[in-house]
Amino acid sequence: MRIGITCYPTVGGSGAVAAELGKQLARRGHSVHFVSYRLPFRLGGFDEHICFHEVDVTTYSLFEYPPHDLALAAKMAEVSRDQSLDLLHVHYAIPHAIAGFLAQQMLGDAAPRLVTTLHGTDITLVGQDRSFFEITRFGIERSNGVTAVSRFLARMTMDEFQVSRDIEVIPNFVDVSRHCANCSCCDRRALAPNSERILLHMSNFRPVKRVHDVIRVLERVNRDVPSVLLMVGDGPERASAQALARRLGVADRVRFLGRQDAVEEFTGKADLYLLPSELESFGLSALEAMACGVPVIGSDAGGLPEVVVNGETGFLVPVGDIESMAARARELLTDETRRREMGAAACRRVSNLFNAEMIVTQYERHYERVLAGTTKKDAAVTSATDRKGQ
């Protein structure tokens, strides 16, 4: 297939999924064209089947707000026409689904089909804003195929936006072969020179991630179990999180590593992964930790229970319950056998349910159905009829 992909190029789960999906599709021989205003993060390296098309946003003295979304739509139409794209797959509803729809309108009969993947905050935060509600709904209704990254997100989209169309759940995934399943290969001494336990958190430090909770948990755990905390990523709450670490007297225990692309190179060094988000439609970073055999302690919110099985691959506690989070962390850090068992269970869960091989095939099947103009329900009915006929 000839596939156009549009995503936010900045650090974030939706961009990570889009980049990884593009690479995996290219590996399968599809021709992939990324259209965005910057090279998406995690899309480094040359691949003969991947091209990047940069959206140029013209500035002009009349424009107080340069019209990025129109420039994107025009570029999507241009690339679709020049590369004879079969479909455009956009990640994050706003504004990408609308730009994709506009591109289709510009091309008329020659337009590619449009697939929109909902990732989370496009529905749970941005889409809920009154000024975006109707246009988000419009984008969902007008896409030829819609996928959501968790059952939670699909349900929420249908309930909140009252859409009756099919939304297929296609979860986040990990290239299991790239993530180390055994953390003993890693040298921990550079990060924990006095054999402290290592806690890890990775995010874009937006308020929804509750990064202050992460610092507070480390402070509590460190009272009994000497520990260090690695904070990976960057964003609006970084400075206040650093200030909190200083105020709580644990600044020397917390290392802010900033943005890191090759997360698989150090994730396996951690003993525990913390994700106390207010809401998480899926929680890609938790999945990446699990793939490295690291148990997750997170909040019992959104789609996270679809990723982390409470008591089996980690623990889930109510949002904001720092004491329970710290207690669970202490419990695992002082029982190495249990921690390792949970880590191994986490790793198995990723291999069995969320590995790239399986999930990318699910996307391919979705594309095929969209191109054929059928739905998953039609396909199920057809195969049931075929079975009856046999």
Give me the least distance between CB of 209 and ligand GMT, in Å please. Answer: 7
Give me the least distance between CB of 34 and ligand GMT, in Å please. Answer: 16
Give me the residues that bind ligand GMT (CB under 6 A), please.
12-15, 17, 92, 119-121, 149, 172, 204, 206, 208, 277, 279-284
The DSSP letter of residue 192 is -
Residue (116 or 121) nearer to ligand GMT, CB: 121
CA-to-CA distance for 161 and 258, rounded, in angstroms? 36
**Residue in this structure with the two tokens 């020659």, named with its chain if needed:** 110
Give me the least distance between CB of 303 and ligand GMT, in Å please. Answer: 7
Give me the least distance between CB of 355 and ligand GMT, in Å please. Answer: 16
Residue (186 or 301) nearer to ligand GMT, CB: 301
Contact 104, 22 (CB under 8 A): no
Residue (103 or 208) nearer to ligand GMT, CB: 208
Residue (17 or 103) nearer to ligand GMT, CB: 17
CA-to-CA distance for 207 and 155, rounded, in angstroms? 24
Backbone φ, ψ for residue 188 (5° rounding): -90, -15
Contact 254, 245 (CB under 8 A): yes
By CB atoms closer than 10 A (0-12, 13-18, 19+), residue 260 is middle
Give me the least distance between CB of 305 and ligand GMT, in Å please. Answer: 12
CA-to-CA distance for 363 and 7, rounded, in angstroms? 16
Spatial CA neighbour of 368 closest among 120, 28, 27: 28
Residue (295 or 302) nearer to ligand GMT, CB: 302
Give me the least distance between CB of 105 and ligand GMT, in Å please. Answer: 26
Give me the least distance between CB of 382 and ligand GMT, in Å please. Answer: 30
CA-to-CA distance for 346 and 291, rounded, in angstroms? 7
Residue (222 or 281) nearer to ligand GMT, CB: 281
Residue (180 or 275) nearer to ligand GMT, CB: 275
CA-to-CA distance for 362 and 122, rounded, in angstroms? 22
Residue (42 or 269) nearer to ligand GMT, CB: 42
Give me the least distance between CB of 330 and ligand GMT, in Å please. Answer: 26
Answer whether the bond into residue 207 is a cis peptide, omega within 30°: no
Tokens encoding 356: 């790239």
Contacts of 386 (CB under 8 A, 6+ apart): none
The DSSP letter of residue 111 is P
Backbone φ, ψ for residue 279 (5° rounding): -155, 140
